[in-house]
C-alpha cells in the first residue's frame, strides 16, 4: 500500500514509518516545517508539506493514498492551555480525511489515549469493548469509528500514556523531568495506581497490522503491560537518577499534572492480540528505565569553518553557520529529552581532524557515532569520511555508526542506530 501518515516526524512515527517500509509499503508523511520534513525524509518516506488545519490538503493526501494512519495531535496548543482548539482541529482533520475515503473501503487508522477514557470517568480494567459517549479525544474516536458506516475500514489504536522507545518514555519522561527538578522521585498516596505501557516498536507493529487487516470498527489496545504501579515506576526513575523515592504532595510536586499522575488506568489488550495475532516482544517500561544511559557522539564539520565547494553552493546556498549551530542545539535538546548523553566533535577539514576525532572516541565509550551530512554527502569530504569511519571501526568497534542528512535529523539517525545496537 501507499500510506499517508500524519504526525510523521514524531517519536512514535520513528518506529511506525520504518515498520511500514520494511513490510513493503511506501509512505508519505505530513510535515509542517523544514525540520519535520528532514526527519520524515531521513526515515525513508516522501514528504507532504502541511498541517492539521489544512483540511483540503489532508483530503487530497488521503485520496491519493491506499490507507491513512493518523498519529498527529497538536500538543503545542494543548500545552499552551488551549485544549479545546487542539481537539477541534483534530476532529476536523479526521472528518476531512474520512470524507475523502468515503465508499472506498480503504483503511483509516486513528489514535486515542487510554488515559482519555480514565479522565472521562471510566474505572476498572479498560478493554476493547468499552466506549464512552463523549469527552476530550473520545469525540474524535467515535467520529472515526462511525466512518465504518460510510464504507471506510475505520479503526482506532488506543495508546497507553507510556509509549517507550529508545530513550523516550512517553509521559514517564515528564516524571523524570519532575524528579530531576525536585531531587526526589515521587508518587501519590501509596503509589498503587496503575499505568499501562508498550514499547514503541510493538505499537508500530500493531499500527501496521491494523492497516493491513483490522476489521472495520475495531478498537485496538497497544498495551503490552496492563498496569504498572506508579510507585514501581517512581522507584525505577529514582534508581536511574540516583535520587530518593517518596510519596509526594500533589500540588508541590506534580503541579497541574497531579490529576493525570493519579489516574488508575489498567488496560487489557487480550482481544487485540487475539484478533490481529499481535504479541508484544520488546522490553517493558521498568527494564527500559533501568537500562544504562545511552551515549551518542555527533561528528561533523565545525560550522565556523565551512569549506566552500560547488556541492555546498548547489545544495545549501542559503545555509549559514548560525543555522547549522541552531540545528545541532535542537538535536542535542531532543536527545537529552530522550535520556541520551550527547557530545559533539566538530572538526576543521585540516591535518588535525583525524587526531582530534581519534582522541574524542578514546575519551569515553559511545553507543552511537553519527557522522554528519556535510561530511558524508559532499564529494570533496570523501577522504575525511573514509578516515572517520575507519578510525571509529578501529577505536570503538562496538559503536554503531549512523548518518544524518543535516543537524535536525540527528535524533532520527540515533533512533535508527539504537534499534540495531
Where are the chain's structural domains? 2-161+197-227+260-290, 295-420
- 121 SS3 class: coil
Q: Do 2-161+197-227+260-290 and 295-420 have matching folds?
A: yes
Output the CATH code of domain 295-420. Answer: 3.40.50
Q: CA quadruple 55, 93, 85, 48: dihedral positive or negative?
A: negative
pLDDT for the residue 217: 98
- 229 SS3 class: strand
- In degrees rounded to 5, what are phi and psi of residue 297? -115, 125
Question: Per-block average pLDDT, block size 10, for the chain (421 residues)?
Answer: 96 93 98 87 93 97 98 86 93 98 98 95 96 95 98 99 83 88 93 96 98 98 98 94 88 81 95 98 93 87 74 71 83 77 88 91 91 86 93 93 88 83 55
- 132 SS3 class: coil
Joined grid coordinates for residue 336: 537529552
d(CA 213, CA 389): 43
Q: How many CB atoms lie within 10 A of CB 389?
A: 15
d(CA 281, CA 286): 15
Return the CATH class of domain 2-161+197-227+260-290: alpha beta
| 371 close to 384: Cβ distance less than 8 angstroms | no
Give which of 62, 142, 56, 69 is closest to 108, Cα–Cα. 69
d(CA 133, CA 385): 58
Amino acid at each position: 500500500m501507499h500510506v499517508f501518515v500524519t504526525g510523521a516526524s514524531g517519536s512514535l512515527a520513528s518506529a511506525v514509518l520504518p515498520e511500514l517500509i520494511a513490510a513493503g509499503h511506501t509512505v508519505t508523511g505530513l510535515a509542517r516545517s523544514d525540520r519535520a520534513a528532514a526527519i520524515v525524509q531521513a526515515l525513508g518516506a516522501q514528504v507532504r508539506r502541511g498541517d492539521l488545519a489544512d483540511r483540503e490538503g489532508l483530503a487530497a493526501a488521503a485520496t491519493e493514498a491506499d490507507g491513512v494512519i493518523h498519529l498527529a495531535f497538536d500538543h503545542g496548543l494543548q500545552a499552551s492551555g488551549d485544549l479545546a482548539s487542539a481537539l477541534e482541529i483534530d476532529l476536523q482533520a479526521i472528518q476531512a480525511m474520512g470524507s475523502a475515503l468515503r465508499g472506498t473501503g480503504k483503511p483509516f487508522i486513528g489514535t486515542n489515549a487510554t488515559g482519555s477514557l480514565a479522565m472521562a470517568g471510566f474505572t476498572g480494567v479498560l478493554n476493547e469493548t468499552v466506549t464512552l459517549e463523549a469527552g476530550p479525544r473520545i469525540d474524535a474516536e467515535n467520529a472515526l469509528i462511525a466512518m465504518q458506516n460510510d464504507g471506510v475500514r475505520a479503526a482506532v489504536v488506543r495508546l497507553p500514556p507510556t509509549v517507550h522507545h529508545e530513550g523516550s518514555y512517553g509521559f514517564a519522561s515528564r516524571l523524570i523531568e519532575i524528579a530531576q527538578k525536585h531531587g526526589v522521585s515521587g508518587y501519590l498516596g501509596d503509589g498503587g495506581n496503575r499505568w499501562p505501557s508498550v514499547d514503541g516498536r510493538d505499537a508500530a507493529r500493531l499500527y501496521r497490522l491494523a492497516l493491513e487487516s483490522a476489521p472495520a470498527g475495531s478498537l485496538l489496545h497497544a498495551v503490552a503491560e496492563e498496569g504498572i504501579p506508579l510507585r514501581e515506576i517512581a522507584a525505577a526513575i529514582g534508581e536511574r537518577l540516583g535520587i530518593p523515592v517518596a510519596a509526594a504532595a500533589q500540588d508541590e510536586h506534580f503541579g497541574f499534572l497531579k490529576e493525570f499522575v493519579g489516574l488508575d488506568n489498567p488496560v487489557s489488550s487480550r482481544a487485540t492480540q487475539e484478533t490481529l495475532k499481535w504479541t508484544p516482544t520488546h522490553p517493558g517500561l521498568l527494564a527500559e528505565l533501568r537500562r544504562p544511559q545511552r551515549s551518542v557522539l555527533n561528528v561533523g564539520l565545525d560550522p565556523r569553518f565551512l569549506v566552500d565547494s560547488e556541492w555546498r553552493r548547489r545544495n545549501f546556498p542559503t545555509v549559514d553557520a548560525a543555522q547549522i549551530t541552531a540545528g545541532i542545539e535542537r538535536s542535542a535538546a531532543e536527545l537529552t529529552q530522550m535520556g541520551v548523553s550527547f557530545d559533539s566533535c566538530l572538526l576543521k577539514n585540516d591535518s588535525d581532524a583525524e587526531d582530534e576525532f581519534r582522541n574524542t572516541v578514546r575519551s569515553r565509550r559511545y553507543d552511537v557515532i553519527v557522522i554528519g551530512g556535510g561530511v558524508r554527502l559532499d564529494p570533496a569530504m570523501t577522504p575525511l569520511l573514509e578516515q572517520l569511519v575507519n578510525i571509529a571501526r578501529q577505536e570503538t568497534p562496538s559503536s554503531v555508526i549512523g548518518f544524518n542528512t543535516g543537524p535536525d535529523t540527528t535524533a532520527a539517525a540515533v533512533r535508527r542506530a539504537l534499534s540495531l545496537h
